[in-house]
């Protein structure tokens, strides 16, 4: 399994991350992106989270860190868990789902290495936290959530947070969002046994797709598409909730 040193980061050992995500990232977007008009408002607990859980583990891209400061993580957890919002672990958000560990959101965002002009598809909105980070850093975000109450809650929360560049759809993300394709970036925040072919087909030339892949043994896989085809890079071991809907049906079909 690759080490962080493979990307020029000196962390010294492979990381296994408890990163059960359901929701489902980019850099320095243009001024018209709604999220960028908001000042940083990280409180002391959020700043400690960023420094101790994220920077200390090797994610140091300033624009990624700035996005993490602008999005109030506590707003994306149930009120009863607000005091635990910055804990170094996933947290339950209802419907058998979780908001992911802060580090895994930062790590996945950092891996995408975006310019800010990209159109992004996220499969698995969940709490909306990853979508909000994407909304801070990308030109446009399309995000799909299969659990209807979560899709509704996230849509309302993202609107209250002032994001005008994020569109939430309720449905199965296996086949993507064909009418908005192609996408510069596609991010999965639930693990299919294999990356759905419709999502690969909707990836633009020059685009990147990031997904946890596997059932019992999962790895975060980065796909790059260029004129020569598809190129896969295995990153780190992770643990996400399984992708349901058509992905699950295909896995269990004889």
**Cβ atoms of 192 and 24 closer than 8 Å:** no
Predicted confidence (pLDDT) per residue in 67-83, tens digit:
999 999 999 999 999 99
Distance, in Å, from the CA atom of 116 to the CA atom of 126, rounded to the nearest integer, reads 23
Mean pLDDT on 114-119: 90
Which of 37, 44, 89, 100 is the catalytic position?
100
Say whether 191 sits in a helix, a strand or coil.
Answer: strand
Distance, in Å, from the CA atom of 254 to the CA atom of 214, rounded to the nearest integer, reads 18
Reading the block at residue 80, the tokens are 């009863």
Specify the pairing of strand 91-94 against strand 97-99.
antiparallel
Predicted confidence (pLDDT) per residue in 45-61, tens digit:
999 999 999 999 999 99
Best CA proximity match to 77, nearest among 32, 142, 31, 129: 129
pTM, entire model: 0.84
Q: Which range among 5-14, 118-127, 233-242 shows the weakest confidence by mean pLDDT?
A: 5-14
* Active-site residue flag, 100: yes
Say whether 160 sits in a helix, a strand or coil.
Answer: helix
Residue predicted with more confidence, 219 or 31: 219
Predicted confidence (pLDDT) per residue in 130-152, tens digit:
999 999 999 999 999 999 999 99
Angle between helix 102-112 and 62-70 (nearest 10): 140
Predicted confidence (pLDDT) per residue in 187-226, tens digit:
999 999 999 999 999 999 999 999 999 988 999 999 999 9
Please give the pLDDT value at position 243.
93
Please give the pLDDT value at position 34.
40
Distance, in Å, from the CA atom of 89 to the CA atom of 30, rounded to the nearest integer, reads 32
Q: Which range among 41-45, 63-67, 72-76 shows the weakest confidence by mean pLDDT?
A: 41-45
């Amino acid at each position: 399994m690759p080490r962080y040193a493979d990307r020029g980061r000196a962390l010294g050992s492979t990381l296994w991350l408890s990163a059960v995500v359901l929701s489902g990232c980019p850099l320095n977007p243009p001024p018209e992106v709604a999220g960028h008009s908001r000042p940083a408002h990280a409180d002391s607990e959020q700043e400690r989270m960023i420094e101790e859980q994220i920077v200390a583990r090797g994610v140091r891209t300033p624009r990624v860190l700035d996005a993490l400061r602008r999005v109030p993580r506590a707003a994306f957890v149930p009120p009863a868990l607000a005091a635990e919002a910055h804990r170094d672990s996933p947290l339950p958000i209802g419907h058998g789902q979780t908001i992911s560990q802060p580090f895994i959101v930062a790590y996945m965002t950092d891996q995408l290495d975006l310019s800010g002009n990209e159109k992004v598809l996220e499969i698995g909105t969940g709490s909306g936290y990853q979508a909000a980070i994407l909304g801070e850093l990308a030109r446009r975000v399309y995000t799909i959530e299969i659990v209807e109450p979560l899709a509704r809650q996230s849509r309302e929360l993202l609107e209250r947070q002032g994001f005008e560049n994020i569109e939430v759809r309720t449905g199965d993300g296996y086949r993507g969002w064909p009418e908005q394709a192609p996408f510069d970036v596609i991010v999965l925040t639930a693990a299919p046994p294999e990356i759905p072919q419709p999502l690969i087909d909707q990836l633009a030339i020059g685009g990147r797709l990031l997904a946890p892949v596997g059932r019992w043994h999962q790895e975060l896989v980065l796909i790059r598409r260029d004129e020569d085809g598809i190129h896969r890079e295995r990153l780190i071991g992770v643990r996400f909730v399984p992708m349901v809907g058509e992905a699950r049906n295909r896995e269990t079909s004889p």
